[in-house]
Amino acid sequence: MFSARKHFGDGHNTMATCALSSDAEDEINDPGAAPYGNFINYYTFNPPENRLSLIPATLLQDLGFSDGHDGATLVLDVGCNSGELSVALYEHLVQEPERRKVRLLGFDLDETLIQRAQQSNPLRDSITFIPLDITKDSSQLQDYLHQHSCPHFHLCLCLAVTMWVHLNHGDSGLLQLLSRLASVSQHLLLEAQPWKCYRSAARRLRKLGRSDFDHFKTLKIRGDMADHAREHLETRCGMELIQSFGSTAWDRKLLLFRRR
């Protein structure tokens, strides 16, 4: 038996994680099997509560999406893993009778995780999960918006995904991700992994003999990742930072942007 913490975190390198990690454990837990951050038991070591406790339950009302708002309110969850946070966030943000009007679309590139999300989805009328790699194609997102006669998602969640896109697709992949999300969203709630997580994730994968992350050393976008994301969103994507909900226990900022 190994504990949730031992079962390898999201590239995060806290003292506690370091104390529990050894090469043997890394091998047993095979982080090489999750090169996109597609951990099979992510929520045992990063439970939804870690983020929920920072996000006000009134967020959708605060943004003006409640009574009087015409049509459905659309929420997008990027890289939703097995859907536990998506469902918990939905339940946190949306109470009856609003659940009729708020739709959440969660997607992830890992089809097995999406199957699990679909099977355990308790709110099938309101929440939908689909397999999708955001770096390849976003036409399914456009189709979904079209289906709901909406030009954009009212709120897009992109939590703990940027590092994996950045490590796998380089600087241009990261900027393209942010631009793409900005183009389909009215508001964007972003949790970008800090740089120290990159070093830890790349080191673990290297230890397992995976060399495909070596270009990590050549990334030009490094340092304060939340600030780099803010800069791109504000100068290139017509968005502005309107609120910071503080930092998670893993020292990650939760930043809310709005289309200007």
Ligand X SMILES: C[S@@+](CC[C@H](N)C(=O)[O-])C[C@H]1O[C@@H](n2cnc3c(N)ncnc32)[C@H](O)[C@@H]1O
Options 42, 144, 216, 257; binder of ligand X; rule CB under 6 A:
42
Q: Is 188 in the site for ligand X (CB under 6 A)?
A: no
Structural contact between residues 57 and 92, judged by C-beta atoms closer than 8 angstroms: yes
To the nearest whole angstrom, how small is the minimum distance from the Cβ of residue 164 to ligand X? 4
To the nearest whole angstrom, how small is the minimum distance from the Cβ of residue 260 to ligand X? 26
Q: What is the DSSP letter of 148?
A: T
Q: CA nearest 73: which of 52, 90, 85, 55?
A: 90
Options 63, 94, 156, 165; binder of ligand X; rule CB under 6 A:
165
What is the Cα–Cα distance from 75 to 180, expressed in whole angstroms?
15
Of residues 61 and 140, the one with the C-beta less far from ligand X: 140
Structural contact between residues 44 and 4, judged by C-beta atoms closer than 8 angstroms: yes
Near ligand X in 101-140, by CB under 6 A? 108-110, 113, 133-135
Of residues 71 and 122, the one with the C-beta less far from ligand X: 122
To the nearest whole angstrom, how small is the minimum distance from the Cβ of residue 131 to ligand X? 9
Contact stretch for ligand X (CB under 6 A) within 88-96, 155-163, 212-220, 237-245? 155-163
To the nearest whole angstrom, how small is the minimum distance from the Cβ of residue 165 to ligand X? 5
Strand partners, 127: 104
To the nearest whole angstrom, how small is the minimum distance from the Cβ of residue 212 to ligand X? 14
Of residues 136 and 260, the one with the C-beta less far from ligand X: 136
* 3-class SS shares of the chain: helix, strand, coil, % to 5: 45, 20, 40
Beta pairing class for 127-131 and 155-159: unpaired
What is the Cα–Cα distance from 219 to 214, expressed in whole angstroms?
10
Of residues 40 and 66, the one with the C-beta less far from ligand X: 40
Of residues 16 and 64, the one with the C-beta less far from ligand X: 16
Give the burial class of 98: count Cβ atoms within 10 A of its Cβ; 0-12 exposed, 13-18 middle, 19 or more buried. Answer: middle
What is the Cα–Cα distance from 142 to 153, expressed in whole angstroms?
10
Options 8, 45, 153, 164; binder of ligand X; rule CB under 6 A:
164
**At residue 4, what is the residue type?**
A
Of residues 109 and 229, the one with the C-beta less far from ligand X: 109
Options 9, 31, 79, 194; binder of ligand X; rule CB under 6 A:
79
Would you put residue 207 in left (φ > 0), alpha (ψ -120 to 50) or beta? alpha
Contact stretch for ligand X (CB under 6 A) within 33-41, 119-127, 224-232, 239-247? 33-41
Residues near ligand X (CB under 6 A), total: 21
Structural contact between residues 104 and 73, judged by C-beta atoms closer than 8 angstroms: no
Question: Contact positions toward ligand X, by CB under 6 A?
Answer: 10, 36-38, 42, 79-81, 85, 108-110, 113, 133-135, 159-161, 164-165
